[in-house]
Structure 1
Amino acid sequence: MNVLRWSAGELTLTFALDDGPVRLIGVREASQPDGGTPDPSQPLVEVSATGYGLSPSTNRHVDTILGQQLRYVRHEETGTTLRIVQEEPTTGLRVTSVFEALAGVRAWSEVSMNGPGALELTFVSSLVVGLASVDAELYSAANSWMAENRWSKRVLREVLADIVRDPHHHVARSRHAVTNTGSWSSGERLPVGVLVDRSAPYALGWQIEHNGAWHYELGETRRGGYLLLSGPTDQENQWSVELTADKPFTTVPVSLVAGTDLDSVFAALTRQRRAIRNRRPIDDRMPVVFNDFMNTLAGDPTTEKLLPLIDAAAEVGADYFCIDAGWYADGDWWNTVGAWQPSTTRFPNGLTEVIDRIHTHGMVPGLWLEPEVIGVRSPIAAELPDDAFLTRRGQRVAESGRYLLDLRSTAARKHLDDTVDRLIGEFGIGFFKFDNNTMTGPGSDKGGTSLGHGLLEHNRALLDWLDSLQTRHPELLIENCASGAMRMDYAMMSRLHLQSTSDQEHPLLYAPITAAAPAALLPEQAGHWAYPITGTTREEFTFALVNGIPGRLYLSGHLNRMTPVELDLIRSALTAHRAVLEDLDTLVPAWPLGLSTWTDEWIALALNGPDVSYLTLWHRAPGPSSITLPLRRSSIEPHFPTDLTDLTDWSYAWTDNALTITTNTPEPSARVLRLTSPS
């Protein structure tokens, strides 16, 4: 077996090159020695087409006939890119596997026909990795509205069927499959996972970087196992596409990282996300944004309600002020959206009066916008042609009182360009909260495509529209929201500034969302709502603010109704947050108590840097309690709150490399600590 080892960035990839298909048989940190030998028989690429399925037949996407028949042609190394070309001799199918070295490795497949003829593709993997064993722990996360980032651990060996394996018996054909359907890329599960080997210091992490349908699966083979990553499939997503010499196809990109344990993999994923992010100069600003929605106006803004909020937000030190949903509508607005003109009843003297107040305080104005939908009762629905919308069999797709724009359409894009350009030009808008509360279903068959491929093309057109928008408006910041974090992926987040991590309104339930978010998202992009409520206890008020500090504090609440003591506490929280912001885009996450789960009583998140770390702790039960964290001894000081008046203090004690924390508060409480290495 000829071996190709390719080292770039933090990883070394090992490929088998011989008279069979190319196989990826090793993904390790460049500094790590070779570990167990992965299955050397698992092809790097799996591909199915009509007339060319699987052998043997299963629900799995491995053992594809075309994948087994691919043969190595050549490979090319150019700078930090590796391209491996294979061809299938009977059909003329050519597959180029592309690897881009960043912090980890980014990979995808480019598929074409080498000559006449056509194939109707029904599946193409972005990447398949051979595994040495399925004796591993799988970390993955459920995701749903107001209950995002719910991570769990499963022993993979207990998920996959374990049957007799020897030369006279078959290997189990079971799989652990995770599939996303429709346009919410994280509507049910996150496109992220980690495998931690149970018998060796080795862990493998991945993310699928697509804003629509995707699929990954793990299974066992005779000599190990496999991890398969892909975009939409025919079996799961009604996706297929015709491939000819003139119509090539490129899969969605995925990223791989490796480490020795869970925290090292998530640190590597953090570095990889920073490497793929298209960070513009305006992104360096990292402002504190006040938004009027959560626990505040909740979609009912008016001049009378907004002006005192704007004054109060400026007084505590907010940099941006975003007017959320409802600014464009009189009465019920759900199924009438689309024109995006300011309401004249909500703003009798015009929206300009409110925007001018924001500008007067030196803040940047922002607006909520749901650009991809048109209400079925909106006059715009009749003005735009059917081609502007996602359709099935010629009829517009309608969900929850909305039609869904098709961003492949020139008319749809012109409508959105005109809308955004008008709002920026008329009001000086510097921030948009782009929301998306309506799913597309499986897609659109417009132009004779499969439903899944129509959706894939729309997803990619949306990304292209965002790119063009930011090119025209380089000073514009955009928040990504989809009923909270229902579209939290790195196709979107490689482009956008901020991600709303939830719509959750209960501070105790927001704590695990904040703590687990860095497993899926850069901390400098994680927009955590901090919405203190006037009249609550000092600990409750503090708890709500702590939720926002280890990320991007997204401020809300009736600041104009708060007492001077409450406002002072908010100012103190913003001061503490801004200190974190100075280092935030260099910090990496770790979880001293393990990756937080939805029901944990104690939750701990560390954001670690070379010189300073911030440790956020939540205790979600009433009464005294102690917890010990395995941490390297360091200097420790309260970061927030620092004024302990009326707060029962926590105590901290070091024993060797362990920190014991005790709280005597009679109610749930939270703190942020600053740790520095002793000089």
Structure 2
Amino acid sequence: MATIRIEHHEALLHMLIEVTDDGSVKLLHFASGPYEEEMLDDTSYANRRLVDVQITGEDHVIHHGLKHVGTVPGTRLKYQSHQFIEAADSRSRRLEIRQSDAATGLAVISHFQFYKGLSLARTWTELRNEGEQPLPVEYVSSFAYNGAAKEGSLPWDQKMRLHLPRNSWCGEVQWQQHSLPEWGLSRVFDHSVNRLSVHSLGTWSSYEHLPVGVLENTESGSCLFWQIEHNGSWQWELSDAEVNELYVRLSGPNEDEGHWSRTLQPGESFESVPAAAGAVQGGFTEAARELTRYLRQVRRKNEDNRTLPVVYNDFMHSLWGNPTTARVQPLVDAAAAAGCEIYCIDAGWYEGELGEWLPSVSRFEGGLAAMAGYIRSKGLIPGLWLELESVHRDSPLSSKPDDWFFCKRGRRVVDAGRYQLDFRNPEVVRHADDTVDRLIAELGIGYFKFDYNQNAGTGTDIAAESLGDGLLGHNRAYLAWADRLFRRHPELIVESCASGGMRMDYATLERFSLQCVSDQMDYRLMGMIAAASPSVIPPEQAGIWSYPLTSSDDEAVIFNMVNVMLFRVIMGGPLAELDEAGSALVREGITCYKSLRQELAEAAAFWPLGIPQLHSSRACLGLQLDGRLVLAVWRMDQDEELIEIPLGKRAKGIGQGKSTGQRESAVRCLYPARAEDAVAAWDAERAVLCVRLPQAYSARVIEIG
């Protein structure tokens, strides 16, 4: 057959796929610049395959250690056909490339979904057994690219830097960046047998790492970036397939890293988990910004992400899961007076242990319905905390049959005293539906905080060939349940939480309108986590706690409010017990937030002092809004009260908003308004702002425009 070239160009993304005369399909180019013809030897050409698939019992074609390259029948696949499919709304189009393996009858369809104006693609792989024998699959890539370092002339170990976001409970979104040798990957021979492999295992999809990566080419000034969109186990790896080149592989669970395998019977099919991969000209900030633009386009459309109502939740530094009428009513009054619009009763409102979700008969005078009515009488939407996927082993619901729960080797999986419900079971789905629908119908609940405080581990072997496949089936069934929930209740607002950010993936956040970023209980560290969060989640979906305490001085209250000013406000703390000065600062902060929130859904984030770490001495998060910049600036424990902030090219165009037209630029302290000395100097020519923060652990919000 004649050589075929399949090309796509959108925004700055240039993709070139070549079909050779023997039918091999090669991804030659996936980058921010146009393709420059290469002189590829046989090894380099072979390594450019479009997809990797490993079947049990098949050989690997290279000595590769545990790398997911050189797979078989991945290396035997031959081109069958391709087509571009245009979306009805013309906002996206999909490329499908079909290959097959004559030896096994396996058909492989690679999907690339492109979006108008975006420099990335959503990618996934479909397997179909069109042969006559069962095919046990151990690995399939969602995205595979050999050529990640080919732009420029320097060796990859000298020019490539990997940005990797580590995650932990109360220590979320902690980016680290190093050269590849500093990460432990060096050029040693024709190719190494080691790799940089990052994965998550279990029902917490981000408990150690977020499923995101940015690979920066410092010579060409460009980035390759990716995100795996799955609420369970996933894996990606970066390594060298030959002396001068790097590859990237993205996947969901597999046998080595996710205890997953799946035998496809003749006529059966399987789809890998989706991923997003893209390329931009620029560095880390430009990659994060492009992901944000993509996330805003693909998520479920809902009014909540436009209006951004202010939430009060009575758990953090307040009731700690011990609500009663006497405790809740003063907080409802204080939340309403402060300008909150939703009141969420957190843990403790139910009878007994987790599982049945029946309202307590002793905590609330007149019952929980009366408490919800009181919340509504103050102009607030009533909300409840739910940990719907968990059943405490002492709950009456634990008497249900084993197929309601995750099990391994005939025993139930238990973690933190909880059993894991299996959403593949229709009875479990009916229980979840009935619970949520009942609370909405009987109590008028308009907001749920769906929490999830356990990791059920490798999976379940009930009705599953492998633990990982049982887990994957549950993960997908849970997402399907959420989709049906929002079809029944399109106005319902749901906050996703898993001990803070332990399930902060975009399979989840594509559906739920906001994410609890962290359970961090120290407001100072919360500020650093908040400042980094727009790198992985749009500001209008990032739920950040603010919890001024009765012991807080004015600067502590201000710091708390600055933490939430550019995100989704989740107020906590003893609002009803604050002194007048503290209450006034909270009210002013919420009023200020409401003047900004209508623009957050289009804001672009940047970090003029670099993305902060948990123990940074200072931090600055900037948002580019309509013709102006808004900066949140934090001083931690450093001695200097002056912080110099270089804004560079981002200061260009200030005062020329889309809706305001040309106007004179001004610099002022937006919050607190009384801090007139916060702007120590503004050098418009150099685009350098100097902010004065009066003491350790103080913060301000500055507006330029």
Give the TM-score category using the shorter length.
Answer: over 0.9
Structure 1 residue corresponding to 2:209, chosen from 167, 186, 189 = 189
The residue aligned with 1:307 is 329
1:180 is aligned to 2:200: yes
**d(CA) in 1 for partners of 2:28, 2:629:** 37
Contact 1:624 1:665 in 2 (8 A): no
Aligned residue for 1:492, secondary structure, equals helix
Report the CA distance between 1:262 and its aligned residue: 1.4
Report how far residue 114 of structure 1 moved: 2.1
Distance 1:53 1:186, change over 3 A: farther
1-structure distance, mates of 2:610, 2:280: 16
Asked if 1:274 corresponds to 2:276, the answer is: no
Checking the alignment, whether the CA contact within 8 Å between 1:21 and 1:67 is kept in structure 2 is no
Q: Distance in 1 between matches of 2:428 and 2:213?
A: 35
**Within 5 Å, which residues of 2 pair with 1:658-673?**
658-663=687-692, 665-673=694-702
TM-score where L is the length of structure 2: 0.91
Displacement of 1:426 in angstroms is 0.5
Matching residue's letter, 1:670: A
1:82 to 88, 95, 98: 95
Kept after mapping to 2: 8 A contact 1:325/1:368: yes
Judge which range, 56-65 or 141-150, deviates more. 56-65
Counterpart in 2 of 1:46? 52
2:349 alignment counterpart = 327
Counterpart of 2:82, as a letter, is H
* 1:246 equivalent in alignment to 2:277: no
Question: Retained in 2: the 8 A contact 1:160–1:220?
Answer: no
Match of 1:547, SS? helix
Unaligned runs of 5+ in 1: 331-335
Structure-2 residue corresponding to 1:385:
401
Q: How much does 1:155 deviate? A: 0.7
Q: Map residues 77-226 of structure 1 onto 2, 5 A cutoff.
A: 77-79=84-86, 80-102=93-115, 103=118, 104-130=120-146, 131-133=148-150, 134=156, 135-163=159-187, 165=189, 170-222=190-242, 223-226=244-247
**1:315 Cα deviation after fit:** 0.8
- Alpha-carbon distance in 2 for matches of 1:470, 1:525: 17
Name the count of aligned residue pairs.
663
Letter in 1 for 2:331: L
Assess, with a 3 A threshold, how the Cα gap between structure 1 residues 36 and 513 changes in structure 2: closer, same or farther.
farther
One-letter amino acid of the counterpart of residue 9, structure 2: S
The answer to whether structure 1 residue 233 and structure 2 residue 233 are counterparts is no
Which residue of 529, 539, 544 maps to 1:513? 529
Q: Per-residue deviation at 1:15?
A: 1.3
2: CA distance between counterparts of 1:163 and 1:649?
A: 50
Is the CA contact 1:116–1:245 (under 8 Å) kept in the aligned structure 2? yes
Length-normalised TM-score, structure 1: 0.94
Q: 2:602 corresponds to which letter in structure 1? A: T
State the Cα distance separating 1:610 from its structure 2 match.
Answer: 4.6
In structure 1, the residue matched to 2:493 is: 477
Q: Tell whether 2:31 aligns with 1:28.
A: yes
CA distance 1:640–1:346, change in 2 (3 Å): farther
Aligned residues with identical type, % of pairs: 37
Report what 2:659 is aligned to.
Answer: none
Residue 97 of structure 1 aligns to which amino acid in structure 2? Answer: S
CA distance 1:197–1:58, shift in 2 (3 Å): same
Q: Determine if contact 2:641/2:695 at 8 Å carries over to the other structure.
A: no
| 1:437 corresponds to 2:456 | no
CA–CA separation in structure 1 for the residues paired with 2:34 and 2:84: 23
**Aligned AA (1:637):** V
Q: Structure 1 pair 626/124, CA: closer, same or farther in 2 (3 Å)?
A: same
C-alpha contact 2:7 2:16 (8 A) present in aligned 1? yes
Determine the C-alpha separation between the residues in 1 that align with 2:629 and 2:691: 20
Shift of the 197–87 alpha-carbon distance from structure 1 to 2, 3 Å rule, reads same
Q: Does 1:345 align with 2:375?
A: no
- The structure 2 residue matched to 1:67, chosen from 67, 74, 80, is 74
CA-CA distance at 1:6 after TM superposition: 1.3
Provide structure 2 residue ranges, at least 5 long, that are not aligned to the other structure. 87-92, 151-155, 655-664
1:501 paired residue number? 517
- What secondary structure is seen at the aligned counterpart in 2 of 1:147? coil
Q: How far apart, CA to CA, are the structure 2 residues paired with 1:177 and 1:484?
A: 25
Indicate the RMSD between aligned Cα atoms, in angstroms: 1.9
Q: Is the counterpart of residue 292 in structure 1 residue 284 in structure 2?
A: no
| Alpha carbons 1:181, 1:441 under 8 Å: kept | yes
- Deviations along 1:106-150, one digit per CA (max 9) or x if unpaired, are 000000122321210000000111223533111111111111111
> Does the aligned pair in 1 maintain the 2:382–2:447 contact within 8 Å?
yes
Give CA deviations for 1:4-46 in whole Å, capped at 9, x if unaligned. 21124652211122136322222234xx444696954331111
Does the 8 A contact of 2:259 with 2:458 survive in 1? yes
Note the alpha carbon deviations across 1:89-121, whole angstroms, 9 max, x for none.
Answer: 211111100011123210000001223212100
Find the aligned partners of 1:98 and 1:58 in 2 and give their Cα distance. Answer: 28
Which among 416, 419, 426 is matched to residue 403 of structure 1?
419
Q: Does 1:653 align with 2:660?
A: no
In structure 2, the partner of 1:3 is 5
Q: Structure 1 residue aligned with 2:668, among 638, 651, 662?
A: 638
Output the CA distance in 2 between the equivalents of 1:488 and 1:669. 29
> Which of 371, 379, 402 lines up with 1:354 in the alignment?
371
| Aligned partner of residue 544 in structure 1, secondary structure | helix
Q: Deviations over 1:420-454 (max 9, x none)?
A: 11100110000000000011110011114200000
8 Å Cα contact 2:458/2:468 also seen in 1: yes
Is the CA contact 2:635–2:693 (under 8 Å) kept in the aligned structure 1?
A: no
Query: Superposed, which structure 2 residues align to 1:556-595 within 5 Å?
Result: 556-595=572-611
Query: Which whole-Å CA distance do the structure 1 matches of 2:180 and 2:330 have between them?
Result: 55
Q: CA deviation at 1:637?
A: 3.1
Q: Say whether the 8 Å CA contact 1:539–1:667 is kept in structure 2.
A: no
Which residue identity does 2:330 align to in structure 1?
Answer: P
Q: Which of 613, 621, 625 is matched with 2:637 structurally? A: 621
The 8 Å contact of residues 668 and 703 in structure 2, kept in 1 or not, is answered as yes
Structure 1 counterpart of 2:382, which letter?
Answer: P
Offset, 1:658: 3.4
* Separation of aligned partners in 2, 1:292 and 1:224: 53
Distance 1:520 1:89 in 2: 42
Kindly state the Cα deviation for residue 639 of structure 1 after the two structures are TM-superposed: 4.8
- 1:221, CA displacement in angstroms? 2.1
Contact 1:137 1:196 in 2 (8 A): yes
CA distance in 1, matches of 2:330, 2:689: 44
CA contact (8 A) 1:624 1:662 kept: no
The equivalent of 1:413 in structure 2 is 429
Q: Which residue in 2 is equivalent to 1:333?
A: none
- State the 1:247 CA deviation: 1.7
Q: Report the alpha carbon displacement of residue 580 of structure 1 after superposing the two structures with TM.
A: 2.0
Query: Structure 1 residue 596 and structure 2 residue 596: aligned?
Result: no
**Against the structure 1 CA distance between its residues 263 and 636, is the aligned structure 2 distance closer, same or farther, given a 3 Å change threshold?**
farther
Q: Is the 8 A contact 1:11 1:258 kept in 2?
A: yes
Q: What secondary structure is seen at the aligned counterpart in 1 of 2:468?
A: helix
CA contact (8 A) 1:516 1:595 kept: yes
8 Å contact kept, 1:9–1:101: no
Q: CA offset at residue 88 of structure 1?
A: 1.4
Deviation at 1:540, TM superposition (A): 1.1
Letter in 2 for 1:492: T
